[in-house]
Chain A
Amino acid sequence: MISIRHLSKTFHNPDGSVVNVLKDVNCDIDKGEVISIIGPSGTGKSTLLRALNMLEPPTSGQILFDGQDITAKGYRLDALRRRMGMVFQSFNLFDHMTVIENIIYAPIRLLGISDADARAEAMTLLKKVGMSQKADVYPSSLSGGQKQRVAIARSLAMHPDVILFDEPTSALDPTMVGEVLSVIRQLASEGMTMLIVTHEMRFARDVSTRIFFMNEGIIYEDGSAEQIFEHPVRSATKAFVNRIQKLVYEIGSDEFDQLDMHSGINAFCIKYNIADKAAQAISIADDMIQNHMASVRPLTFRLTYTELTSETALDFMVEGMTESPFAAGKFPDAIRAQAKDIIQEPTTRGFRIKILI
């Protein structure tokens, strides 16, 4: 359905510097594919998506849509865009229209559908995204997640052949990410062709038929979800999909700022969508630092989160020690009862206790 050939995009900044965001992108996208585009920030994921419907015209290269070159001069972009929906990070609902007016505005004007038919269909779509109660309110009274679901319904109302999702959950409160992702999941199961730029690794792995890992302005690795996440070929891909998010505290003396650590753990858990684990992490960290390992100083405490496996762990590292600070490796029962697993092992730098929660 879509073929991209040698696509490049160069930005000229006002300060005179030149950035080659896309260098040489090549790929073919077939009908029914659900493709997640992942990769470090600044590698051109969104630019590629925006080039596909010419919101960001490429510097060179070709994009063929059903065999036609849409980058050619004189190509009817409005006709193309009717067949290619787009969902934005910032929703971009029309603030001066109610929810239902947002949805029916384009179909009435561009597809020639009657007002009554457009409304009936809009209600069906709103029901599908769980927003039928809010048909007559203005977007300003909706939460971010609700706005994004309306935006998806608006895009569906044009019956597009493909929908482009540009980081659809990045602007959302962590508590609202789920509702939007489940709507996209549902669309995927119905066979909608979609390209999704996302940072949600678990979601990407679950929903995609194919993953583009973008790096250095090209599609660095392209393969099935299993291939990219379980058996990546290239080292940069491997490093990215297995990356671990960390929060580190060095505890030198008892005057260490405990409250600062509490709020740090809270923020970390919210950021990585594991808010439900924050209270437990704080309680274990406090117990370990103040009671069970009170005599061990200096102590390095790390909270880690592996996105792909969604593994959360508390790490306590004692520099220069080769044995467990606990007699005969016997771990306090109170902690053991709360943990999924406890690993005690010597490392090159010292002794490590890893508590998985």
Chain B
Amino acid sequence: MIAGIILLAISCSCSGNKQKSIELNSEADLSGLTLSTAVGNYYEHKFSKRSDVKVFAAATQADALQAIRQGLADVFVADDIEVPERTLKDLGLKVAFYGEDLFEVAYCVKKGNTELAGQFNTFLASIPVQDIIEHWTKDGPQVPDPNAGQIKNTQPLRCAVCANLDPVCYVGEGGEWMGLTPDLLTRFANYLGRPIEIMLQDLGGALTAVQTGQVDMVGGNIFITEERKTFVDFTDSYYLCHPVFVVADHGKRAHIGIGERFRMNLIKENRWKLITDGFVETIKITVLAILIGTILGMGVCAALRSRRRWVRSAAGLYGSFIQGTPTLVLLLIMFYVVFASSGLSASSVAIITFAFSFASSAGNIFNSSISTVPVGQTEAGLSLGFTPFKTFTGIVLPQALRHGLPLYAGDCVKLLQSTSIVGYIAIQDLTRASDLIRSRTFDALIPLLIITIIYFVLAWLIRKLLNLLLIRK
């Protein structure tokens, strides 16, 4: 069955090129066309206001670019720096025209952190910025960093990047961050003599994180706007940016075989390592959340069965709060509000959040499973001379398990699946690994297919393992 789905998916992804031949010279010519861009950026905002242009807002810039190849959109718009000549050539696209808007690109720091901004501005003035930009965008020569290798053992410079596209910011061989934005940040950290930590976040999340102090700087082709200035401070601009409008360039698309696609997505630049690292992260969060959540769930169950009315009400309220809130919202609240200034790692926050969420549903499952065992079973155990504890563990629990185990296993699998949202708080799990690969290879099928199979096998393993552990007969 799986093989069938794979074949179907491959054949689908190879067909369906229905691009029209378009002559475009200015933004006025966009009338009646579909424009693709990354969700939440300036262009989505701007062109959504034009009633004659349909905007296709994709989750990432890579997906937005891909939309042109898939025929989902006619024109792609992004910052000029984001689509260098080599990307266009690889994908069979061409520049239609450059927009007239002009933006100043800079880094953000926490409002009032003039010290860090000042240090950056001094640093910026001391380096050949233009050469570094040429290196990344036009394959210019490498610019040496005089401060490299001088990292001292001090507080790391924590940076969020909110772009995931060559050459602005992308994951290269061995999983390290590459591109203009990380390069400048690394040089700056070296200049300060501090180690660097880089995490990928969406723009909204990153700007929140810099306000709460979870990160020190945010970069990734961020425009200086008056609105943003009201809640964050900007460094000096290091680049002036035009919008670029991109369309399909017919007859220039190379066909890539399926073997080559696997090689590109897995072998090249050791991209399989992103998958295995993400796999470990996903497993870590899932297993720890299940373990902690199960223990908490026993507490929830005990509270639901308490003789005190207020304890029962409190447990019920907890359950309805958790179940009434989308897990993603809960995760964002925990990360950006509750634990914002605690210094806990994103992984820890994710584990705590999923454990809390799991505790509620596991507690309810335990409670209802125990309720299915008639009270007469307890009375029979007691009347034979067992203590209440031994009656519970020896007689009630085995019968409750039979009823509750399939439900419990189902919830464990549900937890595994819901961990795929941790990318929102900059954790590189399995799902995020496929995003990173996709943004480099512009191939959606292979990475998604691989992680789908991994999730499927993991879910199967969880059920198998629980059956082995808990049912002896």
> Which of B228-236, B276-284, B337-345, B384-392 is the interface stretch?
B384-392
Q: Is B380 an interface residue (CB 8 A)?
A: yes
A86: B residues at CB distance < 8 A: 379-380, 383
> Which of B102-110, B160-168, B393-401 is the interface stretch?
B393-401
Q: Is B89 an interface residue (CB 8 A)?
A: no
Nearest-neighbour CB distance to chain B for A217, whole angstroms, equals 23
Assembly CA distance A105 to B398 (angstroms): 14
A109: B residues at CB distance < 8 A: 386, 390, 394
A80: B residues at CB distance < 8 A: 385
Contact B384 A82 (CB under 8 A): yes
Contact A82 B385 (CB under 8 A): yes
- On whether A85 and B376 interact (CB within 8 A), knowing A96-B398, A96-B402, A109-B394, the answer reads no
Q: Is B26 an interface residue (CB 8 A)?
A: no
Contact B387 A94 (CB under 8 A): no
Assembly CA distance A165 to B398 (angstroms): 27
Contact A92 B384 (CB under 8 A): no
Q: Is A106 an interface residue (CB 8 A)?
A: yes
B382: A residues at CB distance < 8 A: 55, 77-78, 81
Contact A85 B383 (CB under 8 A): yes
Using an 8 Å CB-CB cutoff, how does the interface string of A1-36 with B read, 1 for contact, 0 for none? 000000000000000000000000000000000000
Q: Is B31 an interface residue (CB 8 A)?
A: no
Assembly CA distance A79 to B384 (angstroms): 9
Assembly CA distance A38 to B69 (angstroms): 88
Contact A92 B385 (CB under 8 A): no
Contact B380 A88 (CB under 8 A): yes
- On whether A158 and B376 interact (CB within 8 A), knowing A96-B398, A96-B399, the answer reads no
Contact A94 B379 (CB under 8 A): no
Contact B376 A78 (CB under 8 A): no
Q: Which residue on chain A has the smallest CB distance to residue B376? A: A92
Contact A92 B386 (CB under 8 A): no
In the complex, which of the residues B374, B377, B384 contacts A81, with contact meaning CB atoms closer than 8 Å?
A: B384
Using an 8 Å CB-CB cutoff, how does the interface string of A69-88 with B read, 1 for contact, 0 for none? 00000000111111111101
A110: B residues at CB distance < 8 A: 384-386
Assembly CA distance A83 to B383 (angstroms): 9
A255: B residues at CB distance < 8 A: none
In the complex, which of the residues B376, B387, B394, B398 contacts A90, with contact meaning CB atoms closer than 8 Å?
A: B376
Contact A78 B383 (CB under 8 A): no
Assembly CA distance A109 to B394 (angstroms): 10
A198: B residues at CB distance < 8 A: none
Assembly CA distance A90 to B383 (angstroms): 14
Q: Is A53 an interface residue (CB 8 A)?
A: yes
Q: Is A45 an interface residue (CB 8 A)?
A: no
Contact A94 B386 (CB under 8 A): no
Q: Which residue on chain A has the smallest CB distance to residue B386? A: A78
Q: Which residue on chain B has the smallest CB distance to residue A102? A: B380
B376: A residues at CB distance < 8 A: 88, 90-92
Assembly CA distance A109 to B389 (angstroms): 14
Using an 8 Å CB-CB cutoff, how does the interface string of A98-127 with B read, 1 for contact, 0 for none? 000000011001100000000000000000
B379: A residues at CB distance < 8 A: 55, 86, 88, 92
Using an 8 Å CB-CB cutoff, how does the interface string of B358-383 with A read, 1 for contact, 0 for none? 00000000000000001011011011
Interface hub of B390, B395, B398 (most chain A Cβ within 10 A): B395
Using an 8 Å CB-CB cutoff, how does the interface string of A42-84 with B read, 1 for contact, 0 for none? 0000000000010100000000000000000000011111111
B377: A residues at CB distance < 8 A: 92, 94-95
Binding site for B on A (CB under 8 A): 53, 55, 77-86, 88, 90-96, 105-106, 109-110, 154-155, 158
20 additional A-B residue pairs with CB within 8 Å, beyond A91-B376, A94-B395, A109-B390 = A55-B379, A77-B382, A78-B387, A81-B384, A81-B385, A82-B385, A83-B385, A88-B383, A92-B374, A92-B376, A92-B379, A94-B399, A95-B399, A96-B398, A96-B402, A106-B385, A110-B386, A155-B383, A155-B384, A158-B385
Binding site for A on B (CB under 8 A): 374, 376-377, 379-380, 382-387, 390, 394-395, 398-399, 402
A-B contact pairs, 5 of them (CB 8 A): A53-B383, A82-B384, A92-B374, A105-B384, A110-B385
